[in-house]
Structure formats: structure tokens, C-alpha cells
């Protein structure tokens, strides 16, 4: 299973420190951001990827419930609270669990396993998507894609000897793809699992040579780690 990118939003520094410590002990969690300020968290989420938010319900600037209403269901949530009467308030949103403070590691671990199960199911369900090309809907498995190329107002989804020309943008495609894909050029997204070799300015996918943009190289190398 891929590592789940986690952020922590809590107005109590000690609570943040505790959850950070717990997150770092879970092998399938990766801490990418933590803050006492929910507004900063919303700004971070506009520009960065994440899977799971550990979110305090009672915060002075913005409650956790209102935070979820603003941010929506792009991420899943584990709610944290010192007040048991607030614990169930968030279940209309994409909430997996709630943790009542003070949080023991045993209870945190149970929540982490619940999160893992939910994401494993989601990954299984989301193993493919549908695109409209040549007047028909086509089911495409993510694992079969070699690369996606931007061609003006269209994208070309290349699968071995087949290709599908779709009216869409590369940015939109990027938002639909799992972590096994990475943008390596202003015009190309590639499947990391299909790489045969990498050079200074290009890489090989099957028999196809794809350029690597200078501004994308560092992110590509980081993904390959």
C-alpha cells in the first residue's frame, strides 16, 4: 500500500506534537504538514496533495466542522476533540473516525488501521476510469497507461499500441491519476511503473522516448525514491 499523506490541524501545540509523534510511528503514514492555524491549512491544501487530515473540532478561528464544509471531501478526516458531545458531528462529511483527547497510542493505532482499510478499498475501486474518445466511452485501467500527452485542447492517453484522444487538460488528468503517475514535462505525464531507463534530459517508456523538463526533474527523482 502507498503511504498516505497526512496533515494535522489543531490549535493546541501539545496536541500537534503528540499526533506528529504517533503519525511518524505508523509505516503507511507520511506527515506532510501541521499547523495551529486552520486558514493556513486551507491554503496549503489548495497547492499540495494530501490524503488524510487529523482535524480538531474546537478551534477559535474556524471550527473543524466549518473547515470541512469549506474544504469539502477531497481528503478524508479523523476528527480529534476533548469533548465527547462533539464527536459525532462530522459524520456527514468524509470522516473515518474520531479520537477523544487525551489520545493513547493504542487508540490511535486502531484508528490508523481503520484508515488503512478504507484507503485500501478505495484504491481497489479506483483502479480504472472512463474517458470519451471517438464518440464512445472507454474503460482504461491506470496500470495499462504508458503516458498522457497534451495536444492543444486535447490529451492523448497512450496504452501500448493504442491511443485515446480526449477533450481534456493535462491538469485535469493529473488530478484523477494515482501516485504511480508524475508530470515530467509541461506536455507529459508518465506512469512510473513503465520506465525502462532515465537519462539527463529524457526517459524511455517501452520504445517511446519522453523528454524531461528541467523544472520537473527534481520531483521525478523524489518520486522514484
- CA triple 128-134-139, angle to 5 deg: 15
Distances (CA, A) of 201 to 183, 189, 192, 197, 209: 14, 15, 16, 11, 10
- Give 160-181 pLDDT, tens digit per residue: 889 999 999 998 888 778 888 9
d(CA 120, CA 211): 33
d(CA 179, CA 169): 18
CA 177, 182, 188, 194 dihedral sign is negative
Return the percentage of the chain with pLDDT > 70, whole number.
92
- Give 76-102 pLDDT, tens digit per residue: 999 998 876 654 444 455 788 889 999
pLDDT class of 149 with cuts at 50, 70, 90: very high
Classify 64 as helix, strand or coil: helix
- Give 1-39 pLDDT, tens digit per residue: 678 999 999 999 999 999 999 999 999 999 999 999 999
State the pLDDT at residue 124: 56
- Angle 105-125/13-23 helices, nearest 10 degrees? 60
Enumerate residues 6+ apart whose C-beta is below 8 A from 15.
56, 80, 101
Query: If you search the block for the grid coordinates 478526516, which residue do you land on?
Result: 77
State the pLDDT at residue 39: 96
d(CA 179, CA 123): 11
Amino acid at each position: 500500500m502507498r503511504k498516505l499523506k497526512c496533515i494535522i490541524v489543531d490549535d493546541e501545540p501539545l496536541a500537534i506534537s503528540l499526533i506528529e509523534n504517533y503519525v511518524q510511528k505508523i509505516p503507511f503514514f507520511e506527515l506532510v504538514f501541521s499547523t495551529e492555524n486552520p486558514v493556513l491549512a486551507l491554503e496549503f491544501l489548495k497547492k499540495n496533495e494530501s490524503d488524510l487530515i487529523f482535524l480538531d473540532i474546537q478551534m477559535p478561528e474556524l471550527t473543524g466542522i466549518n473547515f470541512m464544509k469549506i474544504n469539502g471531501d477531497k481528503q478524508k478526516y479523523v476528527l480529534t476533540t476533548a469533548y465527547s458531545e462533539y464527536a459525532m458531528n462530522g459524520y456527514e462529511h468524509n470522516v473515518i473516525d474520531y479520537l477523544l483527547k487525551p489520545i493513547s497510542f493504542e487508540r490511535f493505532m486502531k484508528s490508523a488501521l481503520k484508515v488503512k482499510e478504507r484507503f485500501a478499498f478505495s484504491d481497489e475501486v479506483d483502479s480504472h476510469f472512463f474517458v470519451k474518445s471517438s464518440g464512445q466511452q472507454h474503460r482504461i485501467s491506470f496500470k495499462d497507461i504508458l503516458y498522457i500527452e497534451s495536444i492543444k485542447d486535447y490529451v492523448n492517453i497512450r496504452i501500448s499500441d493504442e491511443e485515446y484522444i480526449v477533450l481534456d487538460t493535462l491538469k485535469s488528468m493529473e488530478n484523477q491519476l494515482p501516485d504511480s503517475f508524475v508530470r515530467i514535462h509541461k506536455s507529459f505525464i508518465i506512469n512510473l511503473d513503465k520506465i525502462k531507463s532515465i537519462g539527463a534530459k529524457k526517459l524511455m517508456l517501452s520504445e517511446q522516448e519522453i523528454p524531461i523538463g528541467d523544472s520537473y526533474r527534481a520531483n521525478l527523482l523524489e518520486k522514484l525514491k
